Structures are given as C-alpha cells and as structure tokens.
Amino acid sequence: MDKDSSNHRDCYTIIVQRKYNHLSQTYCDHMQNTIDTNVLVIGAGPCGLFQVFQLGLQGIGCHVIEALPHPGGQCVELYADKPIYDIPGIPHILAGELTTQLLAQIKPFSPVMHYQQTVIEVSQTPQGGFMATTSSGKVFSASNIVLAAGAGAFNAVKMRVDGINAFENSQLFYSDISEPLMQSASEKMRVVVIGDTPDAIDAAIQTSPACTQLTYVHRKRRLSASPQALASLQTHIDAKRIELINGKITGFTTDDTNKKISHLSVVDNNKQEINLPVDYILARLGNSPKLNNFSDWNLQTTRHNINVEPACFQSNLPGFYVIGDINFYPGKRKLILCGFHEATLAAFDIAAKLKPDKPVHTQYTTTSTELQQRLGLT
Ligand SMILES: Cc1cc2nc3c(=O)[nH]c(=O)nc-3n(C[C@H](O)[C@H](O)[C@H](O)COP(=O)(O)OP(=O)(O)OC[C@H]3O[C@@H](n4cnc5c(N)ncnc54)[C@H](O)[C@@H]3O)c2cc1C
C-alpha cells in the first residue's frame, strides 16, 4: 500500500466518522479492505467499456463497478436484440453483440469488474483523489474516477403489492434464488416465478429442477422469448414440472406467526381468484435506471447531466471525468459514438496526469509497437 493511499484512507476515516458517527466502526472495517486504483470506472455500458479500452491503450489498468449483474448498459438492458446502424465502420450490429465485441476488445487489459453493486457515495480527499463506496460495502481509493452512468444505475423493478417487499431476501428475491434453494435442498420447495420478460422465462426453466413445485405467473397473454426458450418452457409444462398461470398477483397471506408468506393471491385472466401456496418468490420484472444525486458528490449539473470541459471531459472536480449519456457540454448528443470519443480524450488526459514526466503522444494501433504490446499482439 503506498503512502498516498493510506493518507486518503485516514482522511476518509475522518470524513466518514463525522458523517456517520454511529456507524464509524463498520466503515472503518470496510476501509481495512479499501481497494486502491489509479482509475475507477463507474458504469459498464458501452461508454464505460470503451473507457477501459482507451485506458488500456495508455497502459492504465482500472476497476469497473456496475449495478447490474452484467455489462452492456442500455444496449443490453433495453434493446439487446435490436440493430444499431451508426457505429463507425460497422453497417449494422445488434446492441447485445456490440457489447460482446466491446468485451472482446478490452480482454487484453483485464479490468477488475465488480457487478451487482451501485456506487452510492463519492468524496474527495485533500490529496486530490477520491473515495467511493458501493452498496455492497466495498470502498475504493482512486486517483481518478470516470463516471459513465448513462441513464442511471439499473435496478430491479420491485413488486407493487402492499407489504410484500418486507420479505425481500428472506422469501422474495429479485435476482438470484439459488442460495435459499440450496439451503433448503432437503425440504419440499414451492417456488413462484413472476414476470413477462424473456429473462423471467429463462429463470423459471433454470429454477425448476431445484424445487418441488414451480408456478410461473405472467401478466401478458402472449409470452415473448426466443423460439428455443418457448419450446423449452412448453416441454417443462407438458412434463408438469412448471405450472403456468396468466394472471396478476394481487396480495399475499402470512402464516400464524406473520413472519412468513404462506400464499400468494392471484387473479387469473378469467378473473378467477387463486390462492397459491409458496415458499419462495422470484420476481423478474425487468430493471429500470435511477440516477444518483450528483450534487451530493459536489458535481455541477445542467438538467441532471454533469457539466464537463469538452477538451478532456473532466467535471468541476479535478480527476473526476464524466463520459457518455450522463455528461453535458454545448452540442452534446447522447450517442454511443460521441461517448467513444469522450472516453478517448479522457484517457489521454488521465495518462498525462498519471505520468507527468512523460509526454503523451498520439500513437496509431496500426504502427505502434508499444500499443501492440499492450494489446498482447507482439
Ligand atoms: C431503444 C434505444 C435505442 C438506441 N439506439 C441507439 C443507436 O442506434 N445509436 C446510438 O448511438 N445510440 C443509441 N441509443 C442510445 C445509447 O444506448 C446510449 O447513448 C448509450 O447506451 C449510452 O452509454 P453509456 O455507457 O453512457 O450509458 P448506459 O448504456 O446507460 O450504461 C450506464 C451503466 O452504468 C450503470 N450505473 C449507473 N450508475 C451507476 C452507479 N452509481 N453504480 C454502478 N453502476 C452504475 C448502469 O447500471 C448502466 O449499466 C439507444 C437507446 C435506446 C434506449
């Protein structure tokens, strides 16, 4: 651990202790495990991924934090199977495939990816760096941050049934249900999977072997998924491994202790009420983006977008860069190719700052042996 980072930590301890006096011990515990990095990229959408590539070309490694369990941002979450026609040099590419290609492109640089956690707090240190804390308690000490937060952190859409979210992580899950099912492997388990997305159908198919009874409840009359997924679902229904209900969850009842959901109330599309016994619920209702409150991070904004200097895409905080859909400057367009340009210039600026004694020349990947070495080609 270098001197700079321990200074950052000491300072952050004071800030955190002042702000969260009652919680300071917990935060100090986290700080024992602070991850030091030259650059922390927040967001693994197309712009965050291309930022990793441009930093890699400059010989700079980084950590990436992403709220979702996977990369791709809007491209994967909102329109993975739709074609994009305005990526330079590629006449058309599916948005999901663009993400796959970006991941292949950054592979030589081995970024450290931290999924399923949102950066909830960022503070400056007097030494000019940053401390960032995630929703799962990881603390990063970074000399530079690149925020590529797009439309905001994607989080699971929650069930709108009064009182049910109090059971989240005990009986109700929004992402993964394998752990509770493994723990209860010897018991008979009745699982209800809810949702209309192809992801919900996949989850029902994958969860079915791990439970004794699986009911898949969907609201839309027509299920939309790949022909293979629909065929697999039908096989499970025919084999009575999955029961299908087209309807809406309207409520739930608890057992005598009030501590456990025993039944879900469902109204099916014939307006019949069904009382469905349940042990675990897996709700896959999609994800929606939520923006952080950036004024808490001392960033200057224009209509919820963060002001940047268009020569290098640095914000009002030195060392804090903002690229992609979330930034603002005169003439800004929310397009992937604009984000790619922003990532390139941000990487040059970060390189100049991290290596002040060495001029940062423009080099071509076609001809530079240094860049080709970094790409693992020579
Ligand atoms: C239907 C549709 C079609 C489109 N078609 C095109 C097109 O044809 N061409 C084009 O150029 N553009 C298109 N766009 C726009 C394009 O998708 C966006 O410009 C692009 O996704 C922006 O990339 P980004 O990396 O800035 O943000 P995003 O793609 O939004 O990714 C941001 C990521 O950051 C994560 N994140 C945010 N905050 C946090 C946090 N605090 N902690 C951890 N993670 C966080 C989010 O979960 C998300 O994964 C389209 C958009 C839509 C919705």
- pLDDT band of residue 33 (cuts 50, 70, 90) is confident
Using the 3D structure, point to which of 269, 285, 301 is the last residue of a domain: 285
Residue nearest to atom 30 of ligand 1 (CA): 150
305: left (phi over 0), alpha (psi -120 to 50) or beta: beta
N-term to C-term CA, the chain: 32
Which residues, in sequence order, are CB contacts of 105 under 8 Å at separation 6+? 49, 50, 53
Residue 345's pLDDT is what?
A: 98
Quick one: pLDDT at residue 9?
Answer: 36
204 and 259 fall within a common domain: yes
Say if residues 94 and 75 touch (Cβ distance below 8 Å): no
Which residue's alpha carbon is nearest to atom 36 within ligand 1? 153
Closest listed residue to residue 44, CA positions, set 26, 65, 17, 16: 65
Q: How far apart are CA 134 and CA 115, in angstroms?
A: 10
CA distance 358 to 3: 22
Q: Which ligand 1 atom sits closest to the C-alpha of 291?
A: 38
Q: Are residues 277 and 306 in the same domain?
A: no
Q: Is the pLDDT of residue 172 over 90?
A: yes
Q: Is the Cα torsion angle 309, 315, 319, 321 positive or negative in sign?
A: negative
How many whole angstroms from 228 Cα to the centroid of ligand 1?
A: 28
Give me ligand 1 centre to Cα 48, in Å. Answer: 9
Could you tell me the maximum CA-CA distance found in the chain, to the nearest angstrom?
74
Percentage of the chain modeled with pLDDT above 90 = 82
Same domain, 262 and 317: no
Ligand 1 center to 310 CA (angstroms): 20
Residues in contact with ligand 1 (CB, 6 Å cut-off): 42-48, 65-68, 73-75, 78-79, 84, 86, 118-119, 148-154, 292, 324-325, 334-337, 339
CA 305, 20, 117, 77 dihedral sign is negative
Statement to judge: residues 22 and 140 lie in one domain? yes
Number of C-beta neighbours around residue 220 at 10 A: 11
Q: Extract the tokens encoding 98.
A: 């663009």
For residues 233 and 310, state if they share a domain. Answer: no
Q: What is the mean pLDDT of residues 270-293?
A: 95
Closest CA to 4 of 145, 127, 124, 122: 127
| pLDDT given for residue 284 in this prediction | 95
Q: Mean pLDDT, to the nearest integer, of 154-182?
A: 92
Identify whether residues 167 and 127 lie together within a single domain.
no
Write the pLDDT tens digit of every residue in 209-261: 989 999 999 999 999 888 999 999 999 999 999 999 999 999 999 998 878 99
Residue 1 has what pLDDT? 34
Tokens of 80: 């993975």
303 or 20, greater pLDDT:
303
Same domain, 281 and 144: no
Residues 230 and 257 both lie in one domain: yes
Total structural domains within the chain:
2
What CA–CA distance (Å, rounded) separates 222 from 181?
A: 29
Considering only residues 157 and 32, tell me which one the structure prediction assigns the higher pLDDT: 157
Which of the four pLDDT bands, split at 50, 70 and 90, describes residue 180?
confident
Whether the CB-CB separation of 219 and 196 falls below 8 Å is answered with: yes
pLDDT of residue 186: 65
281 or 31: which leads in pLDDT: 281
Q: How far apart are CA 322 and CA 360, in angstroms?
A: 21
Residues 190 and 102 in one domain: no
Domain boundary among 257, 285, 313: 285
Which domain, by its residues, includes 178? 158-285
Give the Cα separation of 199 and 258 in Å (integer).
31
Tens digit of pLDDT for each residue in 94-128?
A: 999 999 999 999 999 999 999 999 999 999 999 89
If one compares 235 and 5, the residue with the highest pLDDT of the two is 235
Q: What pairing do the DSSP bridges indicate for beta strands 242-254 and 261-268?
A: antiparallel
User: What pLDDT was estimated at residue 32?
Assistant: 55
Task: Give the C-alpha distances (Å, rounded to integers) separating 115 from 118, 136, 144, 220, 253.
Answer: 8, 10, 20, 30, 34
Q: Which of 235, 256, 285 delimits the end of a domain? A: 285
Q: What is the CATH number of the domain that holds 369?
A: 3.50.50.60
Q: Residue 209 carries which DSSP code?
A: G
Nearest-CA residue for ligand 1 atom 8 is 84
Q: Which atom of ligand 1 sits closest to the CA of residue 151?
A: 30
How much is the pTM? 0.86
Residue 160 phi, psi (nearest 5): -105, 70
User: Does residue 297 share a domain with residue 179?
Assistant: no
Average pLDDT value over all residues in the chain: 90
Residues 150 and 10 in one domain: yes
Region 194-211: mean pLDDT is 93
Dump pLDDT digits (tens) for 284-325. 999 999 999 999 999 999 999 999 999 999 999 999 999 999
In the predicted model, is pLDDT for residue 203 greater than 70? yes
User: 104 CA to middle of ligand 1, Å?
Assistant: 19
**Token pair 């030259």 in the structure block, residue:** 38
Q: Do 350 and 304 belong to one domain?
A: yes
